[in-house]
Amino acid sequence: MTLNIEMIKPTIGAIIHDVDLNTADEHTAQQIQQALLDHHVIFFRNQQLAPHAQAELARGFGSLHIHPIYPSVANVPEIIVLDSWKLDLRDNELWHTDVTFSQKPPLGCVLQAIKIPPVGGDTLWSSGAAAFAALDQDLQKKLKGLTATHDIRQSFPIERFAHNDVERKKLEETFKRNPPVIHPVVRTHPVTGQPILFVSEGFTTRINELDETESAELLQYLFAHATNEQFHLRWQWQAGDVAIWDNRCTQHKALFDYGDAHRIMHRATINGDVPFYQAAS
């Protein structure tokens, strides 16, 4: 069966219709993986994946990551629970590529909507490939020779995530296990070969080859450029929706605009590789 794919934008996003992810066969799974490469983020409506099934779906893309901070589903440590009534999720309002504070940021993620507010709580995704392609050639050339520092503390400040001495000690230990790392400002997609703008306000703190002022100015420009409306989409969730995105070439943000309403999401995170830049031959 050929997938029924509805493109959302030429630059990013597609909805895949008429697929039950609980029963997808190997041929369908291969088409889903190709659709992800083509569209960067793909969506499925009306799915009801149990945590084990969601983990198994994600495992089809690779081994799974255990998040150092967020809690997980009981007996399924690979599925983190993003519960607005239990966690401070304001960090997710920053545009970010997941877990770039690690040497090997994730390949991608599988996110399922469990409980959705009646209004608000949308998520936006942006294409780093489209953003890089739209830069002028001189800036592209400059960026290809630069590296940037990514720091977990940018999105997980201790004053918001540690409410007592025990939590403070645990968070400080997490910071020690996850020191700042360096990645190329432009990475090469390991499958498609596309150059990707690979900085985000969620974790990128400076460009290492520039002085502090120039670094800050360039990062602010790149953060704004990368999330321009022409490169991003906005998804309005329904309970049972599943999103799969390629974390190597996208960034995203979740809107915290639903007040005290309840929002629960389950996420599986797929392990990735060390980012690299390779000039096109």
pLDDT number for residue 88: 65
Rounded to whole angstroms, the Cα distance separating 33 from 47 reads 18
pLDDT number for residue 174: 78
Check if 150 is active-site: no
Rounded to whole angstroms, the Cα distance separating 3 from 17 reads 7
pLDDT at 131 over 60: yes
Q: What does the DSSP 8-state code read for residue 145?
A: T
pLDDT number for residue 155: 72
pLDDT number for residue 263: 94
pLDDT number for residue 89: 64
Between 200 and 155, name the one with better pLDDT.
Answer: 200
Catalytic residue among 39, 40, 91, 98: 98
Cα 200 from chain centroid (whole Å): 10
**What are the start-end ranges of the H helices in the chain?**
26-39, 51-59, 128-133, 137-143, 158-161, 165-177, 212-226
pLDDT at 223 over 90: yes
Residue 262, Ramachandran bin (φ over 0: left; ψ between -120 and 50: alpha; else beta): beta
Dihedral (C-alpha) 225, 105, 184, 8: value to the nearest 10 degrees? -30
pLDDT number for residue 86: 81
Question: What are the tens digits of pLDDT across the range 43-101?
Answer: 999 999 999 999 999 999 999 998 887 889 999 999 999 998 887 666 557 899 999 99
Check if 273 is active-site: no
Catalytic residue among 39, 65, 96, 183: 96
Question: What are the tens digits of pLDDT across the range 142-199?
Answer: 999 999 999 988 877 666 655 676 777 777 787 888 899 999 999 999 999 999 999 9
Rounded mean pLDDT, 235-241 = 98
Question: What are the tens digits of pLDDT across the range 244-253?
Answer: 999 999 999 9
Check if 267 is active-site: yes
Ordered by where they begin, the domains of the chain are: 4-270 (3.60.130.10)
Rounded to whole angstroms, the Cα distance separating 80 from 189 reads 26
Rounded mean pLDDT, 249-266 = 94
pLDDT number for residue 157: 65
Rounded to whole angstroms, the Cα distance separating 275 from 281 reads 18
Rounded to whole angstroms, the Cα distance separating 16 from 151 reads 35
Catalytic residue among 248, 252, 263, 266: 252
pLDDT number for residue 159: 61
pLDDT number for residue 164: 72
Mean pLDDT score of the chain, rounded to an integer? 93
Check if 252 is active-site: yes
